[in-house]
């Protein structure tokens, strides 16, 4: 199963792109570009951006067609220009180097090897794309996080919010080597710092108002992606998935290995909303 299948039932306003925001722990950028690649292979046009700071995709070998940098797309910029338009891109024959839909990355600039954030209000104005994929959270590549007051930065137009949790946190003690802001994870998951992380804690984090889906727009499809399936015991992974499903926190809970080079193997299973899978 590829990653794009996870959002097939997300609501989309007529004449607007499907905007997808990705939050949570490490693996978000892999999921961001996996969604883009899946959509592109199907002939869809994709705008990839971030409302936080992510590593420059040129330095990471990510697949895309062009990188657009415009300081005016940043938060608070005077007289911000319109976001890139997907229909204009196709009309001008700028469909990318691959025989597929274009994947265009847009940001407000680059600083220290990281893309600078796009104003979420400008993301909401993006038109002409089939898919707008947004990395809306940061976790310093740790498998687990809970958001601070100013996080995550989810555009209001998001029809789906995908929360990533690394299964390699299971059995580990909750501290800053495994979680970004462990004190906030502890509060949201109902546990103590230093306590071993169990499947029930992941379910509590997903269900907490201050947890995985904080700032998600009403009506958005909620998907928990339990990543790094290849690094944990299968029984523990299934137990974690079942716990999150039972919590009612998400419409879909997926077990994934997002780093797998084979797109069809990245999502091993998905459950919780069979009507749309």
Q: What is the CATH number of the domain that holds 216?
A: 3.40.50
Q: Residue 44 pLDDT > 60, yes or no?
A: yes
How close are the terminal C-alpha atoms of the chain, in Å? Answer: 10
| Choice between 23 and 275, residue whose per-residue pLDDT is larger | 23
pLDDT category at 50 given cuts 50, 70, 90 is very high
Instruction: Identify the CA nearest to 128 among candidates 92, 153, 80, 163.
Output: 92
**What domain count does the chain have?**
1
* Residue 264 within a domain: yes
pLDDT category at 254 given cuts 50, 70, 90 is very high
For residue 19, whether the previous peptide bond is cis, meaning omega lies within 30 degrees of 0, is: no
What is the rounded CA–CA span in Å between residue 159 and residue 22?
11
Instruction: Identify the CA nearest to 104 among candidates 26, 17, 7, 179.
Output: 17
* Residue 67 within a domain: no
Indicate the pTM of the whole model.
Answer: 0.95
What is the rounded CA–CA span in Å between residue 256 and residue 264?
11
Which range marks the domain in which residue 204 is found?
3-51+129-276
pLDDT category at 63 given cuts 50, 70, 90 is very high
CB proximity list for 120: less than 8 A, separation 6 or greater: 51, 136, 153, 154, 155, 156
Q: What is the pLDDT of residue 170?
A: 97
Q: What is the pLDDT of residue 274?
A: 45
Burial class from Cβ neighbours inside 10 Å (0-12, 13-18, 19+) for residue 223 reads buried
Q: Around Cβ 60, how many Cβ atoms within 10 Å?
A: 12
Instruction: Identify the CA nearest to 231 among candidates 167, 140, 172, 175.
Output: 167
Q: What is the pLDDT of residue 275?
A: 35
* Residue 90 within a domain: no
* Residue 101 within a domain: no
* Residue 81 within a domain: no
* Residue 154 within a domain: yes
Average pLDDT (212-224) is 97
Reported as a single tens digit per residue, the pLDDT across 157-180 is 999 999 999 999 999 999 999 999
Instruction: Output phi, psi for 105, to 5 deg.
Output: -100, 130
Contact 110, 123 (CB under 8 A): no
* Residue 100 within a domain: no
Q: Residue 41 pLDDT > 70, yes or no?
A: yes
* Residue 63 within a domain: no
């Amino acid at each position: 199963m590829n990653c794009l299948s996870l959002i097939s039932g997300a609501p989309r306003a007529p004449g607007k792109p499907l905007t997808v925001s990705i939050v949570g722990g490490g693996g978000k950028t892999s999921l961001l570009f996996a969604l883009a690649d899946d959509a592109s292979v199907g002939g869809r046009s994709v705008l990839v951006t971030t409302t936080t700071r992510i590593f420059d995709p040129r330095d990471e070998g990510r697949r895309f067609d062009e990188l657009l940098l415009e300081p005016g797309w940043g938060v608070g910029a005077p007289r911000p220009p319109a976001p890139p338009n997907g229909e204009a891109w196709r009309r001008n024959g700028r469909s990318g180097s691959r025989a597929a839909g274009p994947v265009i990355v847009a940001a407000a600039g680059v600083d220290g090897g990281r893309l600078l954030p796009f104003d979420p209000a400008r993301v909401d104005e993006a038109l002409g794309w089939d898919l707008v994929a947004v990395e809306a959270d940061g976790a310093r590549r740790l498998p687990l996080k809970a958001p601070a007051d100013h996080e995550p930065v989810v555009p209001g137009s998001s029809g789906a919010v995908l929360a990533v949790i690394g299964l390699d946190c299971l059995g580990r003690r909750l501290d800053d080597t495994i979680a970004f802001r462990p004190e906030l994870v502890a509060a949201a998951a109902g546990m103590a710092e230093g306590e071993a992380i169990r499947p029930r804690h992941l379910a509590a984090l997903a269900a907490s108002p201050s947890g995985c889906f904080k700032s998600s727009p009403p009506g958005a499809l909620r998907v928990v992606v339990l990543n790094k399936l290849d690094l944990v015991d299968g029984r523990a992974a299934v137990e974690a998935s079942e716990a999150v499903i039972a919590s009612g926190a998400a419409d879909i809970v997926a077990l994934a290995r997002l780093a797998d080079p084979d797109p069809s193997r990245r999502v091993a299973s998905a459950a919780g909303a069979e009507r749309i899978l």
